[in-house]
Amino acid sequence: MQHPPFTALAAVYDTMMDDVEYDHWADFILTYARDQGLSSGRALDLACGTGGLTRELLKAGWDVTGLDGSGEMLDKARARLPQGTPLVQGDLRTFELGEQFDLITCVFDSLNNLLSTEELGQAFAHAAKHLRPGGLLACDLNTRLGVRELWDGDVMEGVAPAPDGSEVHYHWSHTFDSAEELGVVQALCRVVRDGGEVEEFIEIHRERGYDAGEVEPLLRAAGFARWDITEYPDYAVPDGDTPRIWVFAWKGEEA
């Protein structure tokens, strides 16, 4: 049965993504921030999902709010994160929290789910609106190359054991729609539970790649005063073979 993105997947997301280096990503972001004089404060983790990065920011001493478009993913985050962690359901393009933060994060190519430069610009503008003057946005994006060549062989498959004793059998296939310039992932999962009960679902995910040259004018239009666009993990300058870029953008002090 086909489901909307990040709905049925929420139940098995942490099992499948157990090896994602949220701790290393948090260190990468916070090292950059500290080197620029930002070491603590209030953070907003956009597209927080089940709270992988949110948890690492909390461990580092930040006061963190998480925001995600999927209620199912947020339910998992509530069970995973310390009680009382603020979690809000909202759209990256339109969210309105009525408060400002020192740091805003958005990782794991979440912004690539926005399928036009107009939508990405809206997300940047709302992020800037929710930053205090001098605050930092830290995010990553798959480039056009990264979306075209997402995985070797265009397939990711395997079996992941879940804490409850069930097994998640997954077969994710990737194609690139050259006419629309979108990467399309068909995510098929079969959950085999103790006793032999089987649940199967499919989600279709679409991403658009963004290169640095497309991102910079959107940051400028959103009101960011300066930015660095780098590679992980060494902050190197990206080139034409870079599959994923990291953006560190500062809101103007007088904004």
- Answer yes or no: is pLDDT of 1 > 90: no
Domain that holds residue 189: 147-207
Residue where the block lists tokens 């006061």 = 63
Q: From the CB of residue 47, how many other CB atoms can be counted at a distance below 10 Å?
A: 24
152-180 per-position pLDDT tens digit: 899 999 999 999 899 999 999 999 999 99
Q: Residue 63 maps to which CATH number?
A: 3.40.50.150
Tell me: do 31 and 94 sit in the same domain: yes
CA-to-CA dists, residue 63 to 27, 48, 79, 227, 247, angstroms: 16, 14, 18, 24, 22
Tell me: do 98 and 192 sit in the same domain: no
Q: Give the confidence band of 53 by pLDDT, cuts at 50, 70, 90.
A: very high
Tell me: do 70 and 113 sit in the same domain: yes
Q: Give the confidence band of 229 by pLDDT, cuts at 50, 70, 90.
A: very high
Tell me: do 101 and 161 sit in the same domain: no
User: What was the pLDDT predicted at 152?
Assistant: 86
Tell me: do 26 and 116 sit in the same domain: yes
Q: Does residue 10 fall inside a structural domain? A: no
- The predicted model gives 131-136 an average pLDDT of 98
Q: Residue 196 maps to which CATH number?
A: 2.20.25.110
Q: Pinpoint the alpha helices (H) of the chain.
A: 13-16, 22-35, 52-59, 71-80, 117-129, 144-148, 212-222
Tell me: do 83 and 129 sit in the same domain: yes
CA atoms within 13 A of residue 77's CA, in its CB half-sphere? 31
Say which residues have a Cβ less than 8 Å from residue 239's Cβ, sequence separation at least 6. Answer: none
Tell me: do 140 and 70 sit in the same domain: yes
Tell me: do 111 and 220 sit in the same domain: yes
Q: Does residue 139 fall inside a structural domain? A: yes
Tell me: do 75 and 180 sit in the same domain: no
Tell me: do 44 and 105 sit in the same domain: yes
Q: How many structural domains comprise the chain? A: 2
- Answer yes or no: is pLDDT of 9 > 80: yes
Q: Give the integer Cα–Cα distance in Å for 8 and 178.
A: 28
Q: Does residue 243 fall inside a structural domain? A: yes
Tokens linked to 13: 């997301």
Average pLDDT, the chain: 96
Q: Does residue 13 fall inside a structural domain? A: no
- The predicted model gives 238-255 an average pLDDT of 92
- The predicted model gives 206-223 an average pLDDT of 98
Share of the chain above pLDDT 90, in %: 95
User: What was the pLDDT predicted at 169?
Assistant: 96
- The predicted model gives 91-113 an average pLDDT of 98
Single-letter amino acid code for the residue at 24: H
Tell me: do 107 and 194 sit in the same domain: no
Q: Which own/partner pairs from 13-17 qualify as long-range (CB within 8 Å, at least 24 positions apart)?
A: 13/49, 13/50, 13/73, 13/76, 14/50, 14/52, 14/76, 14/80, 15/160, 15/161, 15/162, 15/163, 15/168, 16/160, 16/168, 16/170, 16/189, 17/52
Residues 80, 60: contact at Cβ < 8 Å?
A: no
- The predicted model gives 5-22 an average pLDDT of 96
- The predicted model gives 97-122 an average pLDDT of 98
Residue where the block lists tokens 């809101």 = 251
Which of 234, 224, 237 is closest to 125 using CA atoms?
A: 224
Q: Give the confidence band of 6 by pLDDT, cuts at 50, 70, 90.
A: very high
User: What was the pLDDT predicted at 121?
Assistant: 98
Tell me: do 203 and 226 sit in the same domain: no
Looking at 207, 222, 238, which one is the last position of a domain?
Answer: 207
